[in-house]
Amino acid sequence: MKPALSLVIPVYNEEAHIATSITTVRRILDAANISHQFILVDDGSRDGTWAALQSLAITMTGIRAYKLSRNFGKEAALCAGLEQVDTDLALVMDSDLQHPPELIPAMVAKMQEGYDVVEGIKSDRGHEGQMYKLGARAFYSSFMRLTGFDLRDASDFKLMNRRVINAWRQLPERDTFFRGMAAWVGFKRYAMPFQVARRVEGVSKWSPVKLSRLFISAISSFSSLPLQIITILGAIFFFSSLLLAIWTLYMKFAGTALSGFTTVILLQLIIGSAIMFGLGTIGLYLARIYDEIKARPRYLIEQSAASTVSTPGTASPIF
């Protein structure tokens, strides 16, 4: 008997609490009679996470674990998990219980009202630092302005049905941004607010470098507006240079043309930096094209483990 729901969970260096976190989620789902399986993706952890996942697969039912060959990043780990989904419903959530598992039964119930996606919306960004909150706000407002997709308070806590997963699978890009792609596919969506809980243990696995990489990849994979901004910038420079040319020629013929050294230096600096900024932006997109055209796999699976009994016997399916 196939379970109804797959829980896709990326796991990176979460050895200390992963077993208790999984047990907590299971208890809630069993109480709600939702037949389910866990698809746990170890994103190349350097601690004992993989050993912990393997022993989970031995001691518990309904566990499927995959170990990526190195740290590919959360986005790639999510892809790895979602591609393994063989159930009618899939829920993506974090392993640190910041996405409250108590909400899952309500999300599943919403789904039965005919929605295709039930997405968790952060009603409160929880205990993030001021700098992080500011950065997140700047990111989402520029993302919305550039791409037209409003991802403010969006999270990766999403329940999707088969239709949406299949649609998502058709997106071929190598460099993925799950939150954006899940919005892009559309379908009938329900927004469910939730409070971001405190991390059960440890610290956030996102370094500033990783976050800025995600920022650049998210923007450049959803919008080519930065490229058009270069053209607009060029147009502005062109028209101001016309004005300046008229003025310079007038000064020349009037015989008062020697001053203006500061203007020349300033113009050189401004135009020079504008050109470099423009080239850099073109380079960014070129690099993306290069990465996509190489068509390397999004991730590599080194090892996998699965419970021998793949369906929990206790819960009867609700579908």
Minimum distance of ligand UDP from residue 65's CB (angstroms): 13
Minimum distance of ligand UDP from residue 272's CB (angstroms): 38
3-state secondary structure of 203: coil
Tell me which of 14, 15, 88, 96 binds Mg ion, using CB under 5 A. 96
Our finding on whether 116 is near Mg ion (CB under 5 A) is no
Nearest to Mg ion of 11, 34 (CB atom)? 11
Residue with tokens 């483990």, as numbered in its chain: 305
Minimum distance of ligand UDP from residue 203's CB (angstroms): 7
Interacting partner of 75 out of ligand UDP, Mg ion, none (Cβ under 5 to 8 A depending on kind): none
Nearest to ligand UDP of 23, 33 (CB atom)? 23
Q: Which among 55-63, 98-106, 268-276, 307-315 is the span making contact with Mg ion, rule CB under 5 A?
A: 98-106
C-beta separation of 8 from 85 below 8 A: yes
Give the rounded distance of the alpha carbon of 141 from its chain centre: 16
Q: What are the tokens at 86?
A: 């063989």
Q: State the binding string over 38-77 for Mg ion (x if CB under 5 A, else -).
A: ----------------------------------------
Nearest to ligand UDP of 36, 199 (CB atom)? 199
Nearest to Mg ion of 128, 291 (CB atom)? 128
C-beta separation of 45 from 13 below 8 A: yes
C-beta separation of 10 from 79 below 8 A: no
User: Taking the C-alpha atoms of 79, 85, 88 and 92 in order, what is their torsion angle to the nearest 10 degrees?
Assistant: -50
Nearest to Mg ion of 15, 94 (CB atom)? 94
Minimum distance of ligand UDP from residue 63's CB (angstroms): 16
Q: Where on the chain is the footprint of ligand UDP (CB under 6 A)? A: 10-12, 14, 43, 71, 73-74, 77, 94-96, 98, 199, 204-206
Tell me which of 98, 161, 217, 223 binds Mg ion, using CB under 5 A. 98
Minimum distance of ligand UDP from residue 311's CB (angstroms): 24
Parallel/antiparallel/unpaired status of strands 36-42 and 5-11: parallel
C-beta separation of 104 from 112 below 8 A: no
The footprint of Mg ion (CB under 5 A) covers 94, 96, 98
